[in-house]
C-alpha cells in the first residue's frame, strides 16, 4: 500500500467519525464504514458486525456500550422515506469489526492498523489524564491538541502560552 493510499484512507476514516453532542463521545455509523471497509452489501457487513459483537462479549465487555443499534430515515427515489437499521460504533467496536473482517481486503488490513493505533492513542491519553491534575493537566491537554492539529514547532505552541497562563491564574484564585 503506497503512502498516498494510506493518507487517503486515513483521511476518509477520520472524516467519518462523529461526536455525540454534549458528551464528546466519538463514534462512527456502520453504514458509513461499510463501503470504505470494502463491503458492497449490508447483509455481508452485518456478518462482520455479528462476529465483532461476539468478540466483544467474549472479552467481557458489554456490546451495548460499543454497538448501539439505531434506526435512520433515508429518502427513496420517489421522495418518500423509509427506516433502515444502522449501528453507532465506538472506536473499540470499529477495531473489532476490522479484526473480524477479511484481511485479504486492503481496506480491512488498513483499518486493522488504523483502529488499533487510534485505540491505543486514546487509551494513553485517558491514562495520562487520570494521573494528572491542575496546570500539568492543562499543559498535557494543550500538548495533545497541538499534536492533533499538527502544531509541532515551539513557535506555534508558544502562541498558546498566554492562554495557559490565564487558565493557571484562574485556577489559583
Same domain, 106 and 28: yes
- Total structural domains within the chain: 2
pLDDT at position 169 is: 55
Q: Tell me how far apart the alpha carbons of residues 28 and 108 are, in angstroms, rounded to a whole number.
A: 16
Rounded CA-CA distance 32/88 in Å is 10
**What pLDDT, on a 0 to 100 scale, did the predictor assign at position 150?**
44
| 152 — pLDDT class (breaks 50, 70, 90) | very low
What band does 163 get if pLDDT is binned at 50, 70 and 90? low
Q: Is residue 91 located within the same domain as residue 18?
A: yes
In sequence order, what are the residues at sequence separation of 6 or more whose Cβ sits closer than 8 angstroms to the Cβ of residue 72?
A: 29, 31, 83, 84, 86
**For residue 44, what are the domain limits?**
3-124
Confidence of residue 134 (pLDDT cuts 50, 70, 90): low
Cell numbers linked to 127: 491514562
Q: What is the largest CA-CA distance in the chain?
A: 62
| Model pLDDT, residue 20 | 82
Between CA 173 and CA 171 the distance in angstroms is: 6
Query: What mean pLDDT is reported for the chain?
Result: 77
Q: Which three cell numbers stand for residue 96?
A: 473489532
Q: State whether 61 and 43 are in the same domain.
A: yes
Q: Which residues contact 82 (CB under 8 A, 6 or more apart)?
A: 73, 74, 76
Same domain, 78 and 107: yes
**DSSP element (H, E) containing 31:** helix 30-34
Quick one: average pLDDT of 23-42?
89
Q: Are residues 92 and 141 in the same domain?
A: no
**pLDDT for 46-75, tens place per residue?**
999 999 999 999 999 999 999 999 998 888
Phi and psi of 29, rounded to 5°?
-85, 135
Residues 84 and 74: beta-carbon distance below 8 Å: yes
Give the pLDDT confidence of 66-125 residue by residue, as tens digits: 999 999 888 888 888 989 999 999 988 988 998 888 778 888 888 888 877 877 777 787
Nearest partner of 68 among 111, 30, 119, 116, judged by Cα: 30
Same domain, 16 and 96: yes
Quote the pTM value. 0.64
User: How much is the pLDDT for 103?
Assistant: 78
For 46-76, b/e burial (b = at least 16 CB within 10 A) is eebbeebbebbeeeeeeeeebbeeeeeeeee
Note whether 45 and 95 are same-domain residues. yes
| Whether residue 136 is found in the same domain as residue 119 | no
- 52's grid cell: 465483532
Q: Do 171 and 115 share a structural domain?
A: no
Amino acid at each position: 500500500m503506497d503512502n498516498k493510499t494510506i493518507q487517503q484512507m486515513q483521511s476518509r476514516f477520520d472524516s467519518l467519525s462523529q461526536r455525540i453532542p454534549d458528551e464528546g463521545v466519538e463514534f462512527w455509523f456502520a453504514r458509513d464504514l461499510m463501503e470504505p471497509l470494502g463491503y458492497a452489501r449490508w447483509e455481508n457487513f452485518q456478518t462482520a458486525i455479528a462476529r465483532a459483537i461476539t468478540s466483544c462479549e467474549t472479552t467481557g465487555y458489554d456490546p451495548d456500550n460499543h454497538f448501539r443499534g439505531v434506526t435512520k430515515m433515508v429518502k427513496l427515489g420517489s421522495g418518500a422515506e423509509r427506516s433502515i437499521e444502522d449501528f453507532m460504533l465506538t472506536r473499540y467496536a470499529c477495531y473489532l469489526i476490522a479484526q473480524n473482517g477479511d484481511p485479504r481486503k486492503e481496506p480491512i488490513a488498513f483499518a486493522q492498523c488504523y483502529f488499533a493505533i487510534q485505540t491505543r492513542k486514546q487509551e494513553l491519553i485517558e491514562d495520562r489524564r487520570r494521573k494528572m491534575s491542575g496546570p500539568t493537566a492543562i499543559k498535557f491537554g494543550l500538548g495533545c491538541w497541538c499534536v492533533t492539529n499538527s502544531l509541532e514547532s515551539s513557535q506555534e505552541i508558544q502562541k498558546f502560552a498566554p492562554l495557559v497562563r490565564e487558565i493557571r491564574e484562574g485556577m489559583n484564585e
